Structure 1
Amino acid sequence: MESKTREFGEIGLEEFLQILFKRKKFILISTLLFVVGALIYAYSMTPIYRIEAAVEVGRFISVEVEDRVSTFESPASLVKRLSILFKSGSEDSRAVVKSILEGKKNKYLVEIVVEAESNELGIKKVNSILAHLSSGYKEKIENYTKSVNQEISILEKRSDELYEERVKLFSIVESRLKLSSDKVRTNPSEAAIFELQSSQASTSLAAIESVRFEILSRITDLRKSLSPKHLIAGGLVERIVTNERPVKPDKRSIVILGFFIGSLLSIMISYFMGVVNEDKNSY
């Protein structure tokens, strides 16, 4: 009488375990089928490899003050530009740019992550980004180099002019000193004039030497500014990082998920079938 009055699906733990035990073959076979299906699915998926690269932003470093840095473009602007060109609307779906982010440890670095069907395709995609950067920076470097060389040329010309003036003034100083020495006994007043002229020429000579020294120092700094230490063209840092094993699909996770789904569904079906049969027998 008690079994007839209990509600549908209401069974105890012992009965539940008995149902599972009776249908253990069904549960095992169903679970195995799900696992096999998960394996087939996992191995049928195209493997995806992760390729990573760090790109340095091109910049000028001041010769006078090394902390003063001028970048070709800000890292944020570079990230935005590269994202528009390469991240969205990629022509080749076999190699996709997953992320382009500013470097966390170095503010002049941009980190690029590409996922591709092979390392070769990923490297090709990274190289296309590097080629784009190189072509863009090349014009800026050429314009900067041209401007610096023009300034050097103007300063060198001015330095040569000052050198010629220096030679003339040095000759005047020597000649006036000699005349002053010759006239000091015979004509002291004229000797004093020559000495004054020599002193004035010496003052002008010192001023020219000072200006010329500043010009030569400026030329040296300008030439240094074109060295790799101060003119950083940007581009790849170290090397492109590849992975021998694909990052997708995660076969292990897929199989484990298939196992849990298969076992859970088979247990639920077994339970439902057991409850239905139990309720039928109870009437």
Structure 2
Amino acid sequence: MGLSWQQGPISTGAVGRFLVPEPLPKRLLYIEPLRRRMRVRLGGSWIADSERCLLLFETGRYPVAYFSEADVSPKVLQRTEQVTQHADFGPTSWYSVQVDEQHIAERGAWQHTDLPAYASDLHGLIAFAWRAMDAFYEEDERIVGHAADPYHRIDIRQTSRNLVVNHEGRVIADTKRPLVLYESGFAPRWYVPRADVDEPALTAVKLQTFCPYKGLCSYYSIGGARQAAWCYPEAYPEVRRISNFVSFEPDIVTVHLDGKQMHLEPGQSVVPHGPDRNLDVAEIVREPGA
């Protein structure tokens, strides 16, 4: 997604390359103003509120927002004895974040304490561990999973190409009106309207995941092919066109597009990075306590 992971320009699996005479370093870090109001919530209280966050893009990681100490509520940060070493920034001090006696997030925030000169923009700034906080917001809307990457883009296009899905001799879907979804850092995905899917062939499974850009995702097995299809029953407004459409994994079932068999492409498998990926579904759908 965006700049720093999957197949983004400064990820380890970049699909393109920079046209420069000398090879770039294997690790590239990029920082810029977020230019969005971001707030952090813990234990029913707003503990950080800033319109001047800096967003750090680090190779192979989700972007991370850094807050000025002046934008963090006083007395909520308690420095611990824990110090770790960042590969590029050196020693990193960790804080517990405490709102009251009942709401304490151990290792809830960190700060780089002896930065090299090239990274001085981060001097004195605080970052909060995503999973340790109750929620992050941009303005009054909750952001789930990680800080939103402003370079992440999704385009959805209608097409009349013929997409056919088969499994063990049975036609599961046959459509000439699929939607193709192009998403930063991913190869294209194809979505089929429900009317063109053999519904009895789909068996819902308990697994649900989320995408910070598309919403809550449900999965289906097809016969013995587990998690062979998925859909976003109520996709986020920005991508509502794919709501309740079904997409199929071409490495699990047989998918043909205009007669040519499709295969899983590099960039289609989701590569998890960072400790903030495994939020459970209950937390995703929970009503915010704002």
The interval holding the TM-score normalised by the smaller chain is under 0.3
**Greater Rg by CA:** 1
TM-score by length of 2: 0.24
* Structure ranking higher in strand proportion: 2
Length-normalised TM-score, structure 1: 0.24
Higher helix share: 1
